[in-house]
Amino acid sequence: MLSIIDAAIAMLQSRNFATHLAPQDALTRGTPKDRLEISKRFECLAMNLKQLSETLGLSQTTVSRALNGYPEVNEDTRRRVMEAARRHDYRPNTRAKSLATGRAMAIGHVIPISTKHEIVNPIFADFIAGAGETYTKMGYDMLLSVVPDADQARCYREMKAKRNVDGVILHGPHFDDSRIPLLTEIGLPFIVHGRSTNATLPYSWLDVNSRRAFERATGLLLDLGHRRIALLNGLEHMDFALRRRAGYSAALQGAGIEADPALMRSEEMTEGYGHRAAIQMLRADAPPTAFLTSSLIIALGVRRALEELGLKMGRDVSIVTHDDELSYLRNGEDIPIYTAVRSSVREAGRMAAEMLIRRITDPTLPHLDRLLEAELTIGQSTGPAPNRGARQGGAG
C-alpha cells in the first residue's frame, strides 16, 4: 500500500506528472485515504498549526492565540511565534478556520445572465474590481456564481445552506424585486447595488441618484433649446431605468413639454440598439434633435447612426449619456467626448463592499444606505438645437 503512495508522490515531485506514466494510476484508483495521504505529503510545503506548534514546542492553543492577537500571550512568545509563522509561510487552512469560527470570510456575488440575450452586464467587471479591492484589504474572499436569471433564488438559498459566504451583494435590482424579501427571509446579510422601488422591507443599499442625474441631463438639453429629446433607456423592469425615465419626464414636464412615446425606447443596452433606434427615430417624420442614452455603449451606437446619416454629433444632433466610467471604455482621455452624467461603478463597488462587511461584522447595525450624486460633465456631443428659431417660434 505504502509503495503505491510513494510511487505517486515520487511522480508528483518529479514535476512531469503530466506525461503519461502508465502504472501510476494510484492517484485515481487509490482509496480516499490514499489520496489524502498523498496530498498531505505532497503539500507538505504548507504547514499546519500542529506542525508549527510542535516546531516551537508550544501548544496549538498558544500559537493560535499568539497569531490572532489575543492578550493572554507573553509578548516574547508572540514575537517568537510570529517570526516562525512568517519563516514557514504559515497560513491557516481557510476551511478549518471557517468551520471553527462559523465565518466564511467570503462574500458572494450572483451574476445573472439574461437568458434571452446571454448578456453579461458590462459594469460587472468594474464593480467587482472595486469590491475586490475592499475584500482583499479586509481579508475576505469573493465568490462568484454565474446563473441564468431564473435560477437566482435557488442560488441564494444554496449559498445560505452551503454556508460558504457571509453575505451577498445584490446586483441590478428590479422594481419590487423579489430577491429582497427572499434574502431577508433566509437571513443572509446583503446590500443592494441600486434600489428597489416598492420594496416593503427595509434593506441596505448604495445607489446613484439616477432620477436627479437624468433630470439634470434633460434640463441641459432643454436649456440648449432642444425640444424633441429621445430617451434610449435600459430595460424598464430594472429599477434604475425607471428612475432615469422619471427624471427625464419630470424635466420635460417642468418645461411644459409632453413626452412623446415615439421618442422613448427601453431595451438591453447594446451598441446595436442605440444604432437601430437612432436610425429609426431620425428617419421618422419628427426626428429628435437630441438623444439621452442610458449607457456609453448605446451612445456609441447612436453616434454610428449619425455618421451613417451624414449628421454631425454636437451640431446636428446632441447626445448626453450616462457614463459608468468603465476602465476599458473611457469617455475620451483628457477632454470628454460625450456630455455625460458620470458616476464611477468601481468606486461604488468599493463602497458597497465596505458597507456590507460593516454590517456582517456588526449585525446590530441599522440598515445602511448611501445615495451618490452623478457628476455632469460637458463634452463635445452637445450643442444648441439646430433649428431653434424655427421650432420655438414666438413661444420661447
Partner DNA sequence: CCCGACTCTCAAAGCGCTTTGATAGCGCGC
Partner DNA sequence: GCGCGCTATCAAAGCGCTTTGAGAGTCGGG
What is the smallest separation between the CB atom of 37 and DNA, expressed in angstroms?
A: 9
- According to the binding rule CB under 7 A, does residue 261 interact with DNA? no
- According to the binding rule CB under 8 A, does residue 255 interact with its own copies? no
- Kindly report the number of other CB atoms within 10 A of residue 54's CB atom: 13
Is the CB of 222 or the CB of 278 nearer to its own copies? 278
Q: Based on the number of CB atoms within 10 Å of its own CB, is 179 exposed (0-12), middle (13-18) or buried (19 or more)?
A: buried
What are the backbone angles phi and psi of residue 57, rounded to the nearest 5°? 70, 30
User: Rounded CA gap, 115 and 121, in Å?
Assistant: 12
Is the CB of 34 or the CB of 260 nearer to its own copies? 34
Is the CB of 22 or the CB of 45 nearer to DNA? 45
What is the smallest separation between the CB atom of 392 and its own copies, expressed in angstroms?
A: 30
- According to the binding rule CB under 7 A, does residue 117 interact with DNA? no
User: Rounded CA gap, 262 and 60, in Å?
Assistant: 72
Find out whether 273 and 298 touch, Cβ atoms under 8 Å.
Answer: yes
Q: Return the closest-CA partner of residue 245 out of 232, 255, 258, 254.
A: 232
Selected from 9, 224, 337, 340, the binder of its own copies by CB under 8 A is: 337
What DSSP assignment string belongs to 100-131?
HHS---EEEEEEEEBTTTTBPPTHHHHHHHHH
Could you tell me how many residues make up the chain? 396
| Count of residues near DNA by CB under 7 A | 31
State which of positions 35-94 bind DNA (CB under 7 A): 36, 40, 48-50, 57-62, 64-65, 67-68, 72-75, 77, 92-93
Mention every residue, 6+ apart, whose C-beta is less than 8 A from residue 358. Answer: 365, 368
Residue 147 contact among its own copies, DNA, none, beta carbon within 5 to 8 Å by kind: its own copies
- According to the binding rule CB under 8 A, does residue 104 interact with its own copies? yes
Q: Which long-range contacts (CB under 8 A, 24 or more apart) does 42-50 make?
A: 42/9, 42/12, 42/13, 46/89, 46/90, 46/91, 47/88, 47/89, 47/90, 48/93, 49/90, 49/92
Name the grid cell of 2: 505504502
| Count of residues near its own copies by CB under 8 A | 96
Order the strands of the 339-342 sheet from edge to edge. 264-266, 229-233, 290-293, 318-323, 339-342, 375-377
What is the smallest separation between the CB atom of 357 and DNA, expressed in angstroms?
A: 17
- According to the binding rule CB under 7 A, does residue 13 interact with DNA? no
Mention every residue, 6+ apart, whose C-beta is less than 8 A from residue 364. Answer: none
- According to the binding rule CB under 8 A, does residue 115 interact with its own copies? no
Residue 3 contact among its own copies, DNA, none, beta carbon within 5 to 8 Å by kind: none
- According to the binding rule CB under 7 A, does residue 361 interact with DNA? no
Selected from 24, 51, 60, 77, the binder of its own copies by CB under 8 A is: 24
Binding pattern for the stretch 203-222 against its own copies, x by CB under 8 A and - elsewhere? xx------------------
- Stretch (H or E) spanning 213: helix 210-223
- According to the binding rule CB under 7 A, does residue 16 interact with DNA? no
What is the smallest separation between the CB atom of 174 and its own copies, expressed in angstroms?
A: 19
- According to the binding rule CB under 7 A, does residue 118 interact with DNA? no
Stretch that binds its own copies, among 42-50, 207-215, 221-229, 284-292 (CB under 8 A): 42-50
* Footprint on this chain of DNA (rule: CB under 7 A): 31-33, 36, 40, 48-50, 57-62, 64-65, 67-68, 72-75, 77, 92-93, 96-97, 99-102
